[in-house]
Amino acid sequence: MNDFPPPKLGLRTFDKRYEFDVYPQPDTPPAIAGVYALLVRQVESGRGLVNVLCIGEAKDVSTVAAGHPVLPCLVENGFNAVAVWPETDAESRAELVAALLQARNTWPSCQPGEPD
């Protein structure tokens, strides 16, 4: 991993914007508890585009990508980055994941479960 701060990705709930740190693969996020988004990042016509494939939470976000249950879907869809929001409280992590999913216009393509 380099010494520069990671790039940021803004994800919104209905009432707040969260600035997630982004770790392009093969960089690994720090071993912290938090909410994560597994992404495809690409540059098209000079613009950075992001497609969120899956949103979740974990006690250790550094290990999420390698053993994720939807890894085949992630690989098939070009997964290449992990975005992280640090959060130690498990209940707060679960609430933020639910709020982020609820605020999305499109259900993430590799997200387990069905939209409500």
Contact indicator for 78, 36 with CB cutoff of 8 Å = no
Contact indicator for 77, 109 with CB cutoff of 8 Å = yes
CA distances, 16 to each of 10, 12, 25, 34 (Å) = 10, 6, 27, 17
Question: Closest Cα partner for 84 from 3, 5, 16?
Answer: 5
Instruction: Render pLDDT for 39-81 as a digit per residue (tens, 0 to 9).
Output: 999 877 777 789 999 999 999 999 998 889 999 999 999 999 9
Return phi, psi of residue 95, to 5°.
Answer: -65, -40
Residue 47's pLDDT is what?
A: 75
CATH 3.10.590 is held by the domain 20-102: no
Residue 2 predicted with pLDDT over 60: no
Residue 21's pLDDT is what?
A: 95
Instruction: Render pLDDT for 4-32 as a digit per residue (tens, 0 to 9).
Output: 778 899 999 999 999 999 999 889 999 99
